[in-house]
Amino acid sequence: MSAVNAAMVKQLRETTGAGVMDCKEALTQSNGDFNKSIEYLRKKGLATAQKRSARAASAGIIHSYIHMGGKIGVMVEVNCETDFVARNSDFQEFAKNIAMHIAASSPVSVAPEEVPREIIEKEKEIYRAQAAELGKPAPVAEKIAEGKLNKFFKDNCLLTQPYVRDLNLSVNDVLNELIGKIGEKIAIKRFVRYQIGE
């Protein structure tokens, strides 16, 4: 087993933002393997996020972001459990980064279940028509439409989109990491995105 030293803990802490004891535990559990330690902390963050999902998040902030010399504007509401966390620099940085992500990625909703029914029906109609053009029978066309709709959700719902600052993670992964680090329920409640000419 690899010995865990202070330099390793410091490096992991700087990379992940996790607490000293959590970093030490992650390195110990991962036999000093840096990448496995990051994975361990991510999984721990996810477990913490799931435990906290039932709690009320009634504090938080509204963050605004203007891009391209006033051509795109975003307002996003990010909630947490306490005013103390709402003033936390990591929480505020997250809200800022999410506003920038929304400006860049133009999601249609926060989560798949919030996509308006008419958008879903329109997308499915297009996918069914495409499958019919290829001569697929109706039941097969329906299955193809469902598959393409899932891809539409992944690309167009904020939580499932690849995070613009790290495309290996979804926005939901980044949210869960923050929940694990801060130890409170955090939720992206809603957003609005304006673009000149739209």
pLDDT of 25-52, one tens digit each? 888 888 888 888 888 877 776 555 555 5
Mean pLDDT within 80-84 = 90
- 104-116: per-residue pLDDT in tens? 999 999 999 999 9
Question: Residue 11 pLDDT > 80, yes or no?
Answer: yes
Which pLDDT band holds residue 1 (cuts at 50, 70, 90)? very low
pLDDT for the residue 21 = 78
Instruction: Give the C-alpha distances (Å, rounded to integers) separating 56 from 80, 173, 184.
Output: 8, 20, 10
| Side-chain-side CA neighbours of residue 174 (13 Å) | 23
Question: Residue 54 pLDDT > 60, yes or no?
Answer: no
Dist. CA 177–CA 179, nearest whole Å: 5
- Confirm whether pTM is higher than 0.85: no
- 116-149: per-residue pLDDT in tens? 999 999 999 999 889 888 888 888 888 888 899 9
Sign of the torsion angle spanned by Cα atoms 122, 123, 128, 130: positive
> What are the φ and ψ backbone dihedral angles of 57, each rounded to 5 degrees?
-115, 90
Q: Is 32 exposed, middle or buried (0-12, 13-18, 19+ CB in 10 A)?
A: middle
Residue 163's CB is within 10 A of a number of other CB atoms, namely 19
19-23, 130-134, 141-145, 185-189: range with highest mean pLDDT = 185-189
Strand partners, 77: 62, 190
Dist. CA 49–CA 170, nearest whole Å: 15
Dist. CA 55–CA 38, nearest whole Å: 26
- What are the tokens at 60? 């938080």
Domains of the chain: 6-52 (1.10.8.10), 59-110+157-195 (3.30.479.20), 116-155 (1.10.286.20)
Q: Which residue shows structure tokens 């865990």?
A: 4
Dist. CA 19–CA 12, nearest whole Å: 10
Dist. CA 166–CA 162, nearest whole Å: 7
- What are the tokens at 63? 């963050």
